[in-house]
Amino acid sequence: MLPKPKKIHQVYFDHAATTYTDKAVVKAMMPYFTDIFGNPSSLYKIGREAQTILSNVRKTVAELIHAMPENIVFTAGGSESDNLAIFGTAYAHSQIGKHIISIGIEHHAVLYPLRELEKQGFEVTYLKVDKEGFVSVKDVISAIRPDTILITIMYANNEIGTLEPIAEIGRELLRYRKEKNTAYPYFHTDACQAAGYLDLDVEKLHVDLMTINGSKIYGPKGTGMLYVRRGIKIKPMIFGGAQEKKLRAGTENVPGIVGFVKALELAQKNKDKEFLKIQKLSTYLWNEVNKKIKKVRLNGPVIGDKRLPNNVNITFEDVEGEALLLYLDEYGVMCSTGSACTSESLEPSHVLRAIGLPYEFAHGSLRFSLGKENTKEDIDYMMKYLPQIVETLREISPVNMGKEKHPKYK
């Protein structure tokens, strides 16, 4: 029924889920597995050497985001940093208030800690986003109450690529705090998806806390950091040793931290060039799909400077996203439905629902997220098969067989 490819070509279009680790990053990490394996807290030579590299890369990462080394907390990834930012701020400042502001399209690593806090008596305002996923700066500021202690809004959305107006929110928030002569609310942003393409200067963004991870920027998985502005108290989540200024106990993952910083360094150095290069490929992908397949729509902002350049989220009407994904996998093409974290549930993506996409459209959506090794040929390869796969799936879809709508769509 469908032409089988003569030679399966592996095409990875799921860089928003994770990236491979860059060879230069692996190389930078290697000595800290084998030769300089000491515990940075130990006083002999290889311990001191580990401490030295740790303090060197802390300086490097601080410079990259325009912060001080003492404001960097290395963690085991984006989820941990988000949790530390949210629980850490909430618990340290609950005597001031228990109100938090966020948006409904955050990553689960932000939404679930917020839900947990709600169970514990905190109150969360989830601001509405528009059809492209943007929150309004005005809405954010108007939602602030005397008991608001934290605003947490992502820099770039992992499913539809929306770039939230972080610097604008930060600026308005500064004005608000000055006017009211208060230090609250603090402002956290989850920048995991942004780190490869956008400026991370915490002074320009006016953020107080910022989450970054390694696994989305060609760094090692299970690595990341939280920036915490000087003077802001947060409560630790992991207790034990005095590492990371007592904010994160445990022997430091020295090779992981070295790899994470190397990855962030490379990502930030090449971000402008990569932005344009990948945006061109994304534009090509969307144009090809739009030209060759009927009844498709691009979810999220138009491709431009307000969208992550590597994100193409497409609804194929009357198609089950999962079926399409599995078919593409047969041809070597890897992409995702919504986000990897929701692939085990039948619920459609909370992000696509929040931007007002009807249930059945949300179900027929795929996210293609491009990366630095992708080429135009990868897209051409996929486009040799995608139109026919979609057509075949539409023919066998219950909607088109004249049957009742699928019960799941009710």
Ligand X SMILES: *Cc1c(COP(=O)(O)O)cnc(C)c1O
Question: Under the criterion CB under 6 A, does residue 210 sit at the interface with ligand X?
Answer: no
CA–CA distances in Å: residue 105 to residues 108, 284, 351: 9, 27, 5
Check residue 78 for interaction with ligand X (CB under 6 A): yes
Rule CB under 6 A: is residue 224 a binding residue for ligand X? Answer: yes
Give the C-alpha distances (Å, rounded to integers) separating 55 from 51, 69, 73. Answer: 6, 8, 12
Between residues 38 and 77, which has the closer beta carbon with respect to ligand X?
A: 77
* Shortest distance (Å) from residue 188 CB to ligand X: 12
Sign of the dihedral through C-alpha 335, 337, 339, 343: negative
Binding mask 129-168 for ligand X (x = CB under 6 A): -------------------------x---x----------
What is the residue type of 27? K
Q: Concatenated DSSP letters for 58-125?
A: HHHHHHHHT--GGGEEEESSHHHHHHHHHHHHHHHSTTT--EEEEETTS-HHHHHHHHHHHHTT-EEE
- Minimum distance from CB of 147 to ligand X (Å)? 26
Which residue's C-beta sits nearest to ligand X?
78
Least Cβ distance, residue 366 to ligand X (angstroms): 17
Asked if 216 and 19 touch (Cβ cutoff 8 Å), the reply is yes
Tokens 């005005």 label which residue? 138
Which of 15, 107, 271, 367 is close enough to bind ligand X by CB under 6 A? 107
CA-wise closest residue to 8 among 313, 333, 243: 333
- How far apart (Å, rounded) are the C-alpha atoms in residues 223 and 242? 19
In whole angstroms, the minimum distance from the beta carbon of 138 to ligand X comes to 24
Window contacting ligand X (CB under 6 A); options: 73-81, 161-169, 171-179, 303-311:
73-81
Minimum Å distance from CB 127 to ligand X? Answer: 17
Whose Cβ is closer to ligand X: residue 36's or residue 109's?
Answer: 109
382 close to 330: Cβ distance less than 8 angstroms: no
**Alpha-carbon gap, residue 302 to 402, rounded angstroms:** 34
Stretch that binds ligand X, among 66-74, 75-83, 314-322, 360-368 (CB under 6 A): 75-83
192 in active site = no
Q: Which of 109, 296, 319, 390 binds ligand X (CB under 6 A)?
A: 109
- Going by C-alpha positions, the residue among 341, 346, 289, 343 that lies closest to residue 313 is 289
What is the H or E stretch that residue 296 is in? strand 296-299
Stretch near ligand X under the rule CB under 6 A, chosen from 213-221, 314-322, 347-355, 383-391 = 213-221
Segment interacting with ligand X (CB under 6 A) among 42-50, 62-70, 90-98, 187-195: 187-195
For ligand X, which is the closer residue by CB, 81 or 374? 81
Of the candidate spans 31-39, 46-54, 211-219, 300-308, the one that interacts with ligand X by CB under 6 A turns out to be: 211-219
Query: With binding defined as CB under 6 A, does residue 192 bind ligand X?
Result: yes
In this chain, which of 38, 40, 77, 165 binds ligand X, going by CB under 6 A?
Answer: 77
Instruction: Please list every residue from 24 through 63 that binds ligand X, using CB under 6 A.
Output: none
Q: Which of 26, 92, 341, 399 is catalytic?
A: 341
What is the DSSP secondary structure assignment for residue 346, as one 8-state letter? S
Q: What's the token pair of residue 184?
A: 């609250």
Q: Which helix (H) or strand (E) holds 180?
A: helix 166-180
Which of 193, 282, 310, 337: binder of ligand X (CB under 6 A)? 193
- Which residues are near ligand X by CB under 6 A? 77-79, 82, 107, 109, 154, 158, 190, 192-193, 213, 215-216, 224
**Residues designated catalytic:** 341
